[in-house]
């Protein structure tokens, strides 16, 4: 399994804790092939425990899932104005959008592309 350094510091506020925890809750739809779901949930738990540093090695497929989740949440909470009446959520979505784009730039990911395992369940 190819791994890369995570590349950024991921600090938390209430919004980030809640949303990353929600990523775990929604992981049931991720394929179990090659233990992708388990590896992703383990990564998210490590992230929540602040064990993931910029130098932490992360599986590429797990990183792509995370970028996709950040992108999705940023679209809903920031880019699509679903929460324009709640500045805390809008600010959280903007924070996720910025982190998503930093990860894309570091890892040369122009846009999120589903892995072959995600395509199987779509």
Residues 45-99: tens digit of each pLDDT: 999 999 999 999 999 999 999 999 999 999 999 988 888 889 999 999 999 999 9
Residue 109 has pLDDT above 60, yes or no: yes
pLDDT for 118? 42
- The two tokens of residue 86 are 């709640």
Is residue 115 predicted with pLDDT exceeding 50?
Answer: no
- Which residues are paired to 58 by β-bridges? 4
The pLDDT mean for the chain works out to 88
Q: Tokens 């846009």 sit at which residue?
A: 111
Which uninterrupted H or E stretch holds 5? strand 3-5
Contact indicator for 99, 10 with CB cutoff of 8 Å? yes
Alpha-carbon Rg for the chain, nearest whole angstrom, is: 14
| Averaged pLDDT for residues 93-119 | 75
The Cα–Cα gap between 39 and 104 comes to 20
Cα separation, 111 vs 103, in Å, equals 11
pTM over 0.75: yes
Span 91-114, average pLDDT: 84
Distance CA(25)–CA(54), nearest Å, equals 25
Identify the burial level of 73 via C-beta atoms within 10 angstroms of its C-beta, where 0-12 means exposed, 13-18 middle and 19 or more buried: buried
Give the C-alpha distances (Å, rounded to integers) separating 114 from 9, 22, 95, 118.
24, 19, 22, 6
């Amino acid at each position: 399994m190819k791994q890369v350094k995570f590349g950024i510091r991921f600090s938390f506020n209430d919004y980030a804790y809640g949303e990353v925890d929600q990523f775990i809750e929604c992981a049931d739809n991720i394929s179990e092939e090659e233990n992708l779901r388990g590896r992703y949930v383990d990564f998210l738990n490590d992230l929540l425990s602040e064990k993931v540093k910029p130098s932490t090695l992360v599986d590429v497929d797990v990183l792509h899932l995370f970028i996709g989740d950040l992108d999705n949440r940023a679209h809903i909470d920031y880019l699509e104005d679903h929460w324009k009446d709640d500045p805390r959520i809008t600010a959280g979505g903007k924070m996720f959008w910025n982190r998503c784009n930093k990860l894309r730039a570091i890892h040369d990911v122009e846009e999120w592309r589903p892995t072959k395992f995600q395509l199987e369940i779509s």
